[in-house]
């Protein structure tokens, strides 16, 4: 049985050894455990079932606890800064359905991102924020709400405003309950929305849009059959046809999404504007 997961870290854990095309390093920063997986060639990509690229996973104390300490924010922000270009305008995209709580991470993060593309040079000078990067923000909704694939909207907007890169945020699927609400994955390989829950949409990446795409996600759900398989030692089939269509999410999902989105938005704002005091960013928001 295929065990669904969007996390490169969990794909790595399924293998006792890795090919030369995969590098993995692990280190701690305060309470955060950071794992950096680099997939360098097609053999590595085939082994981990992930595109070539860098995948950084930050495992932290649960977001439902003390979720906004500076040490934790720094760990995520610095990992993100390693992936995004140091210069150029950004388009930040929050994927997902705001009306479905486990899928609302992207739109809620988008609501907390400071859009600066519309701020004139004169206002920047007066406000003392000349070093602020141009940022646009978009929450395109989902196909069932708009009748338009998110990819098509992003392709049109990217062609019109020509950002130097995209940061795309989406909820992810994990294979373990223990990783829900306490894990952040960042990668420079783009994203295939819905892949972890069996509803894959068109890939959003440098290959399809022509600009770098940095993906940021937090696992909020576990596929029921995958969960049953792990709890029973490998027999996911006992979930039955109905169970195999189910997705499991924590009962505190509202709090998890609220705090995870606030944390991710704060880290993205800081990574995009490293020379601006975070307090000034909060005031402008």
pLDDT-based confidence at residue 114 (cuts at 50, 70, 90): very high
DSSP code for 58: E
Give the confidence band of 234 by pLDDT, cuts at 50, 70, 90.
low
If one compares 272 and 238, the residue with the highest pLDDT of the two is 272
Which residues in 64-114 belong to E strands, given as ranges?
Answer: 90-94
What is the rounded average pLDDT of the residues 224-234? 75
SS (H, E, C) 212-245: CEEEEEEEEEEEHHHHHHHHCCCCHHHHHHHHCC
**15: pLDDT strictly greater than 60:** yes
Which of the two residues, 198 and 229, has the higher pLDDT score? 229
CA-closest candidate to residue 63, choices 104, 29, 32: 32
Query: What confidence category does residue 34 fall into, taking pLDDT thresholds of 50, 70 and 90?
Result: very high
Higher pLDDT, 92 or 130: 92
Residue 172 region, left (φ>0) first, then alpha (ψ -120 to 50), else beta? beta
Mean pLDDT (whole number) for 219-233: 81
CA distances from 258 to 109, 115, 125, 128 (A): 9, 20, 34, 31
- Residue 206 pLDDT greater than 80, yes or no: yes
At 145, list the tokens.
């709400």
Cα separation, 197 vs 234, in Å, equals 19
Give the pTM: 0.90
The predicted-structure confidence for 135-173, as pLDDT tens digits, reads as follows 999 999 988 888 999 999 999 999 999 999 999 999 999
Q: CA of 115: how far to CAs of 2, 84, 153, 279, in Å? A: 40, 17, 18, 16
pLDDT tens string 45-83? 999 999 999 999 999 888 777 666 788 899 999 999 999
Sorted by where each starts, the structural domains of the chain and their CATH numbers stand as 8-284 (3.40.50.1450)
Residue 19's pLDDT band (boundaries 50, 70, 90)? confident
pLDDT-derived band of residue 236, with 50, 70 and 90 as boundaries? low
Per-residue pLDDT at 211 exceeds 60: yes
Q: Quick one: average pLDDT of 228-245?
A: 65
Closest CA to 115 of 140, 97, 96, 91: 91
Q: Hey, which residues does 56 pair with through a beta bridge?
A: 36, 186
């Amino acid at each position: 049985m295929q065990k669904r997961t969007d996390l490169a870290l969990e794909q790595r854990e399924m293998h006792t050894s890795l090919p030369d095309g995969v590098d993995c390093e692990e280190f701690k920063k305060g309470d955060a455990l950071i794992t950096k997986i680099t997939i360098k060639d097609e053999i590595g990509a085939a082994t981990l079932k992930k595109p070539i690229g860098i995948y950084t996973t930050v495992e932290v104390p649960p977001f439902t606890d003390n979720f906004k300490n500076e040490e934790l924010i720094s760990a995520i922000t610095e990992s993100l800064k390693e992936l995004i270009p140091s210069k150029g305008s950004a388009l930040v995209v929050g994927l997902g359905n705001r009306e479905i709580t486990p899928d609302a991470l992207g739109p809620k993060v988008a609501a907390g991102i400071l859009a600066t593309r519309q701020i004139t040079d004169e206002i920047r000078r007066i406000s003392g924020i000349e070093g602020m990067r141009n940022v646009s923000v978009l929450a395109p909704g989902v196909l069932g709400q708009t009748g338009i694939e998110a990819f098509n909207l992003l392709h049109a907007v990217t062609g019109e405003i020509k950002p130097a890169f995209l940061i795309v945020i989406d909820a992810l699927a994990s294979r373990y309950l223990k990783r829900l609400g306490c894990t952040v994955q960042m990668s420079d390989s783009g994203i295939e929305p819905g892949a972890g829950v069996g509803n894959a949409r068109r890939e959003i990446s440098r290959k399809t849009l022509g600009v770098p795409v940095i993906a940021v996600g937090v696992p909020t759900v576990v596929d029921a059959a995958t969960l049953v398989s792990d709890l029973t030692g490998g027999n996911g089939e006992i979930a039955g046809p109905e169970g195999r269509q189910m997705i499991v999410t924590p009962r505190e999902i509202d709090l998890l999404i609220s705090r995870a989105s606030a944390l991710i938005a704060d880290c993205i704002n800081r990574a995009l504007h490293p020379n601006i005091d975070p307090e000034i960013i909060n005031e402008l928001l």
